[in-house]
Amino acid sequence: MAARTITIKENILGANAEQAEINRKRLDGHHVRMINIMSSPGSGKTSLIMQTIHRFRNKYRIAVIEGDVASSIDADKITQQNIPAIQINTSGGCHLDARMVQTALDGLDLDRIDLIFLENVGNLVCTADFDLGAHKDVVILSVPEGDDKPHKYPVAFIEADAVLVNKIDVLPYFDFNSDTFPEIISGLNPSARLFSLSAKTGEGMERWFSWIEETLS
């Protein structure tokens, strides 16, 4: 039973990795960069994307792919900003996969886009296993969740290109040790870039914006 389960998982991940590579090459062919944003529900993925769109909408042509278990709450917020958004509803599925992203890309005019944000399903466990064909994988942890979460849910942090600590405006009200947190991340993933910011107040966002520009240059 265990062996069979593992084989199925390897087959699924293998097929997914192939599709992810196809997605990435397709994006490269159109000079589009795609950034996959992962976190638990409510860590601030949509707010971060909205603020980043606000900053760069006159410089880059941006689109968003929204992954959700149900509802189109986030995609509606994006389209209200006159930004192209494709909604993927996973019908209960706990993560996006590369094939779902392929279908979403079919709905976008890639010759008129520079940057795609991929907002994954709110889930710190399952999303990290699936390469989607993005050029960068970003994981957000918000202050109220606690500084022990990278040890408890390590995979997303180990594989991320960037780790964002969001909601630093509420640091005074929570037991989150921002002095020792950088060591936790560098212990798990020495090459990850770490950003402390508040998408709500704007504090710390300039460093994140600079990283976006690096990624697009």
User: Which positions touch its own copies (CB under 8 A)?
Assistant: 8, 40-42, 68-71, 73-74, 92, 94, 121-126, 129, 142, 144-146, 148-149, 151-155, 167, 169-170, 173-174
Considering the complex, what minimum distance in angstroms separates the CB of residue 158 from its own copies? Answer: 10
Q: Cα separation of 72 and 134, whole Å? A: 22
In angstroms, what is the minimal distance from the CB of 44 to its own copies? 9
DSSP-assigned letter for residue 44 = S
Q: Which is nearer to its own copies, 74 or 137 (CB)?
A: 74
Residue 68 beta carbon to its own copies: minimum distance, rounded to whole angstroms: 6
**Residue (60 or 153) nearer to its own copies, CB:** 153
3-state DSSP of the chain: CHHHHHHHHHHHHHHHHHHHHHHHHHHHHCCCEEEEEECCCCCCHHHHHHHHHHHHCCCCCEEEEEEECCCCHHHHHHHCCCCCEEEEECCCCCCCCHHHHHHHHHCCCHHHCCEEEEECCCCCCCHHHCCCCCCEEEEEEEHHHCCCHHHHCHHHHHHCCEEEEECHHHHHHCCCCCCCHHHHHHHHCCCCEEEECCCCCCCCHHHHHHHHHHHHC
Q: Which is nearer to its own copies, 22 or 216 (CB)?
A: 22
For its own copies, the closer CB: 42 or 202 = 42
Smaller CB distance to its own copies: residue 146 or 204? Answer: 146
Compute the least distance from the CB of residue 42 to its own copies, in Å.
3
3-state secondary structure of 86: strand
In this complex, which beta carbon is closest to its own copies, that of residue 93 or of residue 204?
93
Is 143 within 8 Å of 165 (Cβ atoms)? yes
Rounded to a whole number of angstroms, the minimum distance from the CB of residue 146 to its own copies is 5
**Beta carbon of residue 32, minimum distance to its own copies (angstroms, whole number):** 27
